Amino acid sequence: MTKIIPSCSQCGMPNTYPDGALLICADCGYEWPIQQSSETNDDSESVIRDSNGNILSDGDSVVIIKDLKVKGSSITLKVGTKIKSIRLVGGDHEVDCKTDAGQFMLKACFLRKS
């Protein structure tokens, strides 16, 4: 029987491996207990967390924690940009928001709740 190793709860990448009682993400280096991952898998679809692990909900204000280049454009979303009234959606890019530069879909791992 093959044991399924969950994706990283911090960055969402599937490149994780077990190390003793911990699961470790090879991409971002995040470590978490194995039993925690089995508990969060049940409701992982309904809970979206920011880069610090805070639960996000519709209407929250967030701050960008890293310069983000917009694909197919010369626009860069700068670190520290505050975004008001976010909307949570399904998929790889969980946050739908509007900025002065336009409307974007962002990953929650690049945002911090403010």
Pick the closest to residue 107 from 20, 25, 12 (CA basis): 12
**Predicted model pTM:** 0.59
For position 101, which CATH number holds?
A: 2.30.30.40
Same domain, residue pair 27 and 64: no
Same domain, residue pair 37 and 84: no
Neighbouring C-beta atoms of residue 14, cutoff 10 Å = 11
Q: What is the mean pLDDT of residues 54-58?
A: 91
- Number of domains forming the structure of the chain: 2
The pLDDT value given to residue 36: 56
Range of the domain at 89: 48-113
Same domain, residue pair 62 and 38: no
The pLDDT value given to residue 43: 47
Higher-confidence residue: 59 or 7?
A: 59
For position 9, which CATH number holds?
A: 2.20.25.10
The confidence band for 2, taking pLDDT boundaries of 50, 70 and 90, is low
Same domain, residue pair 67 and 103: yes
Same domain, residue pair 53 and 31: no
